[in-house]
Amino acid sequence: MKRIVLVLMMIAFAAMVQAQSQPKTIKGKTRDGKNVVIKYYPGTIEDNIESVKYQVVDELEARVKSLQSDTQDLQNRLNTANKQVKQLQKQLESNGNKDNGEAIQKVLAEKQEEIVSLTHQVDSLNIQMSQLYDDKAILLSQLDSVRTTVQANPTRQAQPEKASAPTPIIGIEINGGIAIYGHTANENWETKPFNLAKQFSVYYGTPRLSQSFPISLEVGVGINNFAMSAHHDAFTKTHENQTDLDHHQHTANYTYSELDEHLSLTYLGIPIRVCFGQPTRNKVSVYAKLGITPSFRIGNRFEGTGIYTLTGYYPQWDVTLSDNIMELGFVNDAQCYADNFQPSTKPFVLWGNVALGACVPLGKSPIQLNFGIKADYTFTPIGNTAYIEALPDGMGLLYNGNKVFIPSATFGIIYTIK
């Protein structure tokens, strides 16, 4: 019975691990202390039953054949001993010599004892063979019973395979975060440290690329929008050796006040990511993603407000001209920014990104919720120049040419394709 219990435990264990992709080994002991090793490749429970049947039953049959061979050898020895006893009895009857008769009787007694011993050994082997035949019959009966139970409950058999099946996915992601950008402004601009960044994307995830490790690829399309802002109360800029319309040298003095600049950029991106971790339908799963996003600018909106005054000092005459002398370009309290001004930004930007998160299944539904965090960083600058050349003297907030870092939170929906 211990052998039968062992076999049933093997089958139960095989059923639990059948969804795994690597070959498994089950070790146990028979009731006589012999080690049993069964190697199998996970599949259906039916496959595991056949694997146990062929390996254990074949072992029983091999032991039966070995016992049969031993029994036949003992039987041959027993037959030989019987023939020798008959010959000794004939010699004893025909021999009249008393000394020879005693010697023959002694040998005859030894042979008879040998016959009794061999008979006992043959009987013992026959009993062992009978037990092995009984074990084999019980084992086959138990295996058939397990097979019948599995066939009557096919849904239960399929569940482990269904849970880990390598299926493709379609996902939707919404990200909200902040845009952090560097700047090298040589004036005391007050830059807004955190600016809202928004992302929306739809993507397709391939089935897992490896049976032994949950890795897949994701490709999609998305929209990325973020803003930059800065403010300056007032400052003065001086430019020497300037030439007016009459070709006279002078020094231009700019006085700026209440400057505000706001830049909003929108990109169409193609995220390409490697995903470590596979969504499953019956438990929460975690993932890590690493990828790049080639992006194309589709929106570029700039707003600027502020006033400036421009005066000219002519050292050759020691005179300063101002008071809205428009023909020479000197103005008082004029608007800094033209209505149609657009900064020079690159049409293509390459982003790198990394993400961590978890997928939460909704019962038995193929839909899952995605929660995580993400970080995007520009590998290439977003501007063609080192600053936004928006002010009349060609200067402005020096962030346009710099790179941007966007940390964000992720919420998404994943649909597992059957």
The whole-number mean pLDDT for each consecutive block of 10 residues of the chain, a chain of 418 residues, reads: 44 44 56 58 54 63 75 78 76 64 70 75 75 71 66 50 64 94 61 85 90 88 90 83 85 87 92 90 89 94 86 90 77 81 84 95 89 93 65 53 86 90
Asked whether the beta carbons of 362 and 372 are under 8 A apart, the reply is no
Structure token pair of residue 137: 């019959």
Asked whether the beta carbons of 51 and 24 are under 8 A apart, the reply is no
- Count Cα atoms within 13 angstroms, Cβ side, for 241: 0
Structure token pair of residue 94: 């025909």
Structure token pair of residue 181: 């950008």
Distance CA 154, CA 160 (A): 12
Q: What is the pLDDT of residue 182?
A: 66
Domain ranges, ordered by start, for the chain = 2-159, 165-416
Structure token pair of residue 253: 């003095």
Q: What is the pLDDT of residue 1?
A: 41
Model confidence, pTM: 0.57
Q: What is the pLDDT of residue 21?
A: 43
Question: Rg of the chain over CA atoms, in angstroms?
Answer: 46
Q: What is the pLDDT of residue 76?
A: 80
Asked whether the beta carbons of 374 and 175 are under 8 A apart, the reply is yes
Q: How far is CA 334 from CA 48, 142, 235, 337, 375, in A?
A: 87, 98, 15, 9, 42
Q: What is the pLDDT of residue 297?
A: 94
Q: Has domain 165-416 been given CATH number 1.10.3720.10?
A: no
Asked whether the beta carbons of 324 and 330 are under 8 A apart, the reply is yes
Q: What is the pLDDT of residue 415?
A: 92
